[in-house]
Amino acid sequence: MGMGSNRKTIVALHGAGMTGAVFGGMAPHLLEHSFRALTLPGHDAKADSKLLPDIAAMAAWVRSRLDNGPDDVVLVGHSMGALVALAACDAPQVKGVLLMGAAAKMPVNADLLKTAVDTPNDAIGMIVKWGIYAGHPQVGAVRTVLSSIMHAANPEAVGVGLAACNDFANGDHLAKAVKIPALVISGDQDKMVKPADAEGLSKIIPGAEFIALKDCGHTPMVEKPIDTAHILRDFIAAKIP
**2 occurs within a structural domain:** no
Structural domain contains residue 4: no
pLDDT at residue number 48:
86
- Separation of alpha carbons 102 and 187, rounded Å: 10
pLDDT at 45: 93
Judge whether 159 lies within some domain.
yes
Indicate if the pLDDT at residue 9 is higher than 70: yes
Give per-residue pLDDT as tens, 181-237.
999 999 999 999 999 999 999 999 999 999 999 999 999 999 999 999 999 999 999
Range of the domain at 173: 9-239
* 3-state SS string for the chain: CCCCCCCCEEEEECCCCCCHHHHCCCHHHCCCCEEEEECCCCCECCCCCCCCCCHHHHHHHHHHHHCCCCCCEEEEEECHHHHHHHHHCCCCCEEEEEEECCCCCCCCCHHHHHHHHHCHHHHHHHHHHHHCCCCCCCHHHHHHHHHHHHHHECCHHHHHHHHHHHHCCCHHHHHHCCCCCEEEEEECCCCCCCHHHHHHHHHHCCCCEEEEECCCCCCHHHHCHHHHHHHHHHHHHHHCC
Per-residue model confidence as pLDDT tens digits over 38-79:
999 999 999 889 999 999 999 999 999 999 889 999 999 999
Q: Which amino acid is at 70?
A: P
pLDDT at 186: 98
Q: Is residue 23 part of a domain?
A: yes
Position 97 pLDDT exceeds 70:
yes
What is the number of domains present in the chain? Answer: 1
- Residue 110 makes CB contacts below 8 A (sequence gap 6+) with none
pTM for this predicted structure: 0.96
Residue 4 confidence (pLDDT): 46
For the stretch 128-139, pLDDT in tens is 999 999 999 999
Question: Residue 185: inside a domain, yes or no?
Answer: yes
Q: Are 142 and 156 in contact (CB under 8 A)?
A: no
Could you tell me the CATH number of the domain that includes residue 40? 3.40.50.1820
39, part of any domain = yes
Is residue 42 included in any domain, yes or no?
Answer: yes
Residue 66: closest CA among 147, 127, 10: 10
